[in-house]
Structure 1
Amino acid sequence: MNTNDTLLIMVAVIALLIQSFWLFLDARKRGHNYWFWGIWGLIQSPLPLLFYLIIARKIYRRKAGRE
C-alpha cells in the first residue's frame, strides 16, 4: 500500500465519522432512532445521509403536520 492509498483511506474514515456523528446528533435532536442512524452512517456512505434527509426530515415532518 502506498501513501496515496493510505491518504484515501484516512479521508474516507474521517468522512464516515463526521457523517455518523452528524446523523446521530440530528436524529437525537429530532426524536428519531438515533442509534440506528449513527451506526448506519458509520458503516456506509452516502446512502444513510440521503435516506435520512429524505425520509426522516421531509416525510416524517409532513406526517407530523410541521410543514
Structure 2
Amino acid sequence: MEIMLDKFNARSIAETGFDITRGKRFKFGYGIYSTPDINVAALFANKFIHNNEVYCLVFQNRVNPQTLK
C-alpha cells in the first residue's frame, strides 16, 4: 500500500514508524490514508522540485488485514 505524505515527514516515519498522535490536519478525517495503487497515491502526494526535476513522495508498506484493529 502506498502512503501519501510530504517530504518533511519521510525521515521521521522511516525512523520511528507511523504515529497518528502527531497528526494535526487530517484532510479527509482522522487517520492514515493508504491505497494499494501507486498511481492513486501519486495523485494525492505532495510534489517537490529537486535539481529541476519534479518528484512526489509516497511510502510503500505491507498491511495484514487480519491484524488491523
Q: Name the TM-score, length of structure 1 as normaliser.
A: 0.27
Higher fraction of strand: 2
Question: Of the two, which has the highest radius of gyration?
Answer: 1
Q: Name the TM-score, length of structure 2 as normaliser.
A: 0.27
